[in-house]
Structure formats: C-alpha cells, structure tokens
Structure 1
Amino acid sequence: MTTAAAAEADILFSPFELGYLRLPNRIVMAPLTRSRATKDTLAPNDLNAEYYAQRASAGLIISEATQITQEGQGYVWTPGIYSEAQVEGWRKVTNAVHAEGGLIFIQLWHVGRVSHVSLQPGGGAPVAPSAIPAKTQTFLASGRADVSTPRALRLDEIPRIIAEYKTAAENAKRAGFDGVEIHGANGYLIDQFLKDGTNKRTDSYGGPIENRIRFALEVTDAVLSVWDKARVGIRLSPVSPANDALDSDPAKVFFPLVEALSRRGLAYIHVIEGATGGPRDIAPFDFVGLHKAFRGAYIANNAYTRELAIETLQAGRADLIAFGKLFISNPDLVERLRENAPLNAPHLETFYGGDALGYTDYPALGDA
C-alpha cells in the first residue's frame, strides 16, 4: 500500500466518539441473524459468546436481531431478551466481548407480520398494523415457508407492545450491553407502521405522516426511559423493499421521523442505503440530506467495500460504516481491512442454524 493510500485509509481506522463511548475505529459489525440460539430456551450460549468475542475488534458490534417477546419472533432459533435464561445467556456474550476490549449494543426486534403461526404463542396469527399478508418467506425448522396472514393490532394492544420494548431494554441493561439499537427497518413491525403499503389504519397510528411515525417514536421514548439517549440508536431502511414493505413517498415519512429522532438526541441512525442486501440504487433517495437532518452519528450500511467506506467517510457522507456478511466469514475483518488483505468468502449454506461450522471456524489472517 502506498503512503498516500495508507493516509487515506486512516479515517476508517480512526477513533470515533459515539456519545460517551470512544470507538477504536469506524467499523461497525451489522446485526446478523444466524439462528443459533439454544433451541428450547432461545437463549444465547457459549458458542454465541465465542462468535461475538472473535469479532470484538469492530469499533462497535450490533447484536443479531433479538425478539422482545415470543410474539415478536419470526424465524426459528433466534434469540430473545424476555426471559431470565435469555438475559443470562446474553450476559455470557457481553462478558466475552468486553473481555476482548469490545463494545456491543443489542438490537431490539419485533417482526410483526413476518412470522408463522408455528412460532406464535398458542399458534395464533402474527400481529401487524393491518391485516395484509407479506409476500415473503421465513425460516422454520423444516426449512423455508411462506409467512402467515397477520391480524391487525387493536388500538388497546399497542401500549402493551410499547411496554414490552421497555422491559426488553431493561433486560438488555441487566445483561450488560453498552447500548440499544431499535430495529425499525427491513419490513418488520416498526417499519410496517411507517410505510403506507403496510399500514392502512384509520386511527391515530395510520394515515397522515405524524400518525404513521407515532409508533416508532413511542417505542423510542420507552427505550429512552431506560437508557441514556447517548446509548440508543435506531435502524431504518427508507427505500428497501425487504419483506414486502413499501412506501409511495419515503422522503415524506423518513425526514420528519429522523428530525423527531434528532430532537430526542439519539446517538445514531443506522441507515440501509438502497435494497437490503441488494442494489444501492434501487430508488432515488437523499441519504446525504437525511444525514444532515440528524444531529447524531450516521451509520451507513449496504454493500460497502473497503474503498467505498473510505471514500464515504472522507466525503463526510457518513460517520461510521456497517459491514454485515463480511463479518460472518472474517472474524478479524478490521485487521484484514487495515492490511487490505484477502477476505474469506462466506458459506451461504451455513448462514442459518447449525453449529460451529460456518460460524466460529472461519480462519483469521494468522492461521495456517
């Protein structure tokens, strides 16, 4: 690497002040569902702790999406944060990450309609803002399956779900996390309230923009009643069609939402630019403007390479860069990016479910 190229790359590996936390670099490990929680309790285990500890050189780890209740679960063997066994399991993970000098936030998750009756309490229908089935699939023990048709949440049920987010935030604090990320992206429950393709309500949570952003802001306020604002972020996906959630005019929704979040002083917004795991240019959207509308940090996500990450940081279009799949196959991704070294290719067939194979056995640079 030339001296000039090394100097340009320095920004990716420079420290960053995120609220009260000093991140050692600007590389964020994005949330990655791996479906390897303990099967009977959905609690994290020793293998999960090893996996996260291997990746603790990231400036910040954001945990895999973690359901706040059984109702919030949409995929088999994903972890929760609503039982004592789950809190204890996550404490193993946070202790392991901290022992390696890392920082870790939990991502709080309710999937809404992206679920299956076999995963729901009593085999009931998944819940959603409106009773509109999603044209997507989930992952069950038997393999992939179409998601089930949801039922619309009653108005009197919404406070209960908001209270469950608060309890989950309290449990996350007991489990030793450094902060919380609210999952408001990818067509899950919060995103379903935000977008007019999934929210056809006519009450105070549907219709006008101020109504559609209400649920997201009430969840945020519930989490902020537990955690300092400097330790709370939210993930958003304005134009992603993930899980069949679409809006006719995303800018009219997401700019007011982000401005309201900015007034609350959140530490960051974590934004999927384009289609989740797909094209960055799927639809026009002013992500630079969204960054400017928010006073806190902006984490950019989606198909970032080393080169694009450096260019984006240098141009001031983001403060931090999130990498997803590259962290699956490269536990030492930070070192590999620093050295501009070759990257391990991920094994797609081991992404969901299983054991250490394709999970904790990817080699680091120094391995033979």
Structure 2
Amino acid sequence: MDPSSSVWQPYTLGKLPLPHRLAMAPMTRNRANADGTPGVHATQYYAQRASLGLVITEGVQPSEDGQGYLNTPGIHTPEQIAGWKPIAEAVHDNGGYLFLQLMHAGRISHPDNTPHHRPPVAPSAISAEQDMITPTGPQKTPVPRELSTAEIRTVIDEFRRAAAGAIAAGADGVEIHAANGYLLHQFLSPNANERTDAYGGSVENRARFVIEVAQAIAQEIGGDRTGIRISPAFPLGGLDEGDTEAVRAQYRYLVEQLADLGLVYLHVHHLGDDDLLRSLRQTWPTAVLVVRYGREREQIAADIDAGLADIAPLGRFALANPDIVQRLRTGAALNEVDPSTLYGGGTSGYTDYPTLSPA
C-alpha cells in the first residue's frame, strides 16, 4: 500500500492516539471456556494483532441470557472480568487499545447453548428460524420469550454493568452491538418487533431500546469510551427491515438521536446504500468506521478517501495475518483464511498464522 495512503495518517479517537486508520473488526471465534471466561489462547490472539491500533473484540455477552452460540465469552461475572485483564494488558503492552464488543444475541440462540437452558428472549415471540449449532448438533432457533417492559429495563442495566466490567478489566471502551441480527437489531426490525408498547410500532419506538442502552452505557463509562455498531438492511438472523426508504428513515432517526450522546464512534457494517451512508456520515459528529463484505486489499482506503469513513476495520485480513499492518506497509503477500478453523478449536487457525518475521 502506498506510503502516502490516507490509511497511514494518524488519528485521535476520543482520547486515544491511533497510529493509522486501520482497526481490528469484531469476529466471533467460539474459543471461550464453558464458564464464559476467555480461552487460554485469547491473550496471545489479541496481542498478536495489537499493531492494528484499535482492537475490537469478538462479541461478549452482558448476561447469561445474552449468550447465543457455544463457547462465547462474557463480561458479567467476576471471573470473566478477571479473565479479560491479561488480554487488555497484553494489547496495551504491544501498543494497541482494546474495546470489548457487547453483544446480546436475543433470539439468535438455543436453550442448549446457555448456562440456564431457558428460552431466548427477544422484542416479540417470533422465531428467527435459523440453524444453530448446539452440543447435540444443529437445531432450529426456538420461539423466544417476549421481554416485558420491566425486563427491558433489566437488560439495559445488564449492558450498563457489563460496560463497567469491561473498564474494570482494563479495556479502553466498549462497542455496543446493534447490528447483524442480534437483540438490538431485532428491536429495530419490524418483522422481529411487533410490540405495541413504547418499544415498537413506529420508527421512534423501535429505536428507543438502542438509544436507552447507549445512554446508560455512556452515563456509566463516558461517551468517549462508547462506540456503537449498526448494519442497515442486513438480512442476517432472519431480519427484514423493509424497503430502502423504510431503512433510511429508521437509521437516519436512530443516528440523529445517538449523535447527541457524545459517543466516540459509529461503526457501520455496510451493505451498499451509499446515499444512506453519506447522510449518516454528515450527521455523525465523531469517528465513523466502515466495514464492507468482500472488500479487496486495494479498496481498504476507498471509504476514507471518499470522506465516508475515518477508520477502516479489517476482519478476515486481520484474522489470517497477525502482522497485517506490516504486510500492507511493505506490499507483502497475505495469508489466506482457513475456513475450517474459523469457529472453535485450539491454536490452529487462531494463533498460528505465519508472520513475516519471528515474533
């Protein structure tokens, strides 16, 4: 990559001086322990990628109800908080900053995958009809239990306490996961949210839960430590947010409201509506991160150059190349991802991808 590329310009994210415009995107790896503590190799995995500057972790559940998949980590018990401390220290020691992505899976879950084996929770009792890997093999996600208004307030408090736990573990901030078909995204989507109370029905009501979660976390740890991820029109987890104009109306309203909270960044998992992305960029007062599926190496700086983004998070490039920053700077060839090792397992496909020089 050209040494004069916009990617190599330093950037200050809130109070964090980043050396460039790259970051590590959040990626589920399913290698946590059964009790939700990070797996034994997680410290090495994240430390290897600290040169990306901003390291956003895999989704971390804020409660037992928040777990969707097998072997995902949490941040709601003292043991889990303690388990993240050496990871934060290792990322810092290697020159990076750590944000934990707070992810409540909502209806994208199965009772067999959670510690309590209760039905999953969601805005409405509508199954996602998705295949879910469980200890006994693939099963369909069941019909979830609709959260009561009082329970919604409890979930908001779980997010708040999880954010406090992340800071107690030494993380530099958190990313609220309001994307990719999970609980907050489910509240935004009309085909998953058929509520008739203050949390459903209108654009404003469907956005209310996401806004209240963001408010609670920003009040707890500070807006300068709080980012949020959205994925307008992404049909993951069985969601259908309507036609283009419906999606634009929902997300323009949501982002306008979030913009008043002083959050440190907006992370857009972008499907391709550049007109919407451009309007969100104009509305948002701080950093915008944009990640796109299928982006090629030579396209990494494109959204920054177009004024649509400030930071370009890397997913599979970062997963398969612990030294991706060095490789991009020098023009070196990139390792390819091994799809068979993406989820679960040990060091293979996790911490053993080759680097240009010995660690």
Distance 1:103 1:344 in 2: 24
Distance 1:62 1:139 in 2: 24
Q: Residues 143 and 14 (structure 1 numbering): CA distance in 2 closer, same or farther, change over 3 Å? A: farther
**Counterpart amino acid of residue 267 in structure 2:** H
* Aligned partner of residue 131 in structure 1, secondary structure: coil
Distance 2:112 2:135 in 1: 10
Q: How does 1:1-368 map to 2 (within 5 A)?
A: 5-7=2-4, 9=5, 11-39=6-34, 41-120=35-114, 122-248=116-242, 249-274=246-271, 281=272, 286-303=276-293, 304-367=295-358
Q: How many residues align?
A: 355
Superimposed CA distance per residue, residues 154-201 of structure 1 (whole angstroms, 9 cap, x where no aligned partner): 122111111111110111111000011000000100000011111100
**Counterpart amino acid of residue 268 in structure 1:** Y
* Aligned partner of residue 57 in structure 1, secondary structure: helix
| Deviating more after overlay: 224-233 vs 309-318 | 309-318
* Aligned partner of residue 213 in structure 1, secondary structure: helix
Superimposed CA distance per residue, residues 28-56 of structure 1 (whole angstroms, 9 cap, x where no aligned partner): 100010011123x2201441000000000
Distance 2:217 2:147 in 1: 21
Q: Check the 8 A contact 2:12/2:18 in 1, yes or no.
A: yes
Q: What is the Cα deviation at residue 285 of structure 1?
A: 5.2
Superimposed CA distance per residue, residues 292-342 of structure 1 (whole angstroms, 9 cap, x where no aligned partner): 111111100123333222232122111000111111110011111112221
Q: Check the 8 A contact 2:69/2:109 in 1, yes or no.
A: yes
Taking structure 2 as the reference length, what is the TM-score of the superposition? 0.95
Structure 2 unaligned segments of length 5 or more: list them.
none
Taking structure 1 as the reference length, what is the TM-score of the superposition? 0.93
Structure 1 unaligned segments of length 5 or more: list them.
275-280
Distance 2:308 2:187 in 1: 28
* Aligned partner of residue 107 in structure 1, secondary structure: strand
**Counterpart amino acid of residue 32 in structure 2:** A
**Percentage of matched positions with identical amino acids:** 42
Superimposed CA distance per residue, residues 50-84 of structure 1 (whole angstroms, 9 cap, x where no aligned partner): 00000000020001000001110000000000111
Distance 1:143 1:125 in 2: 18
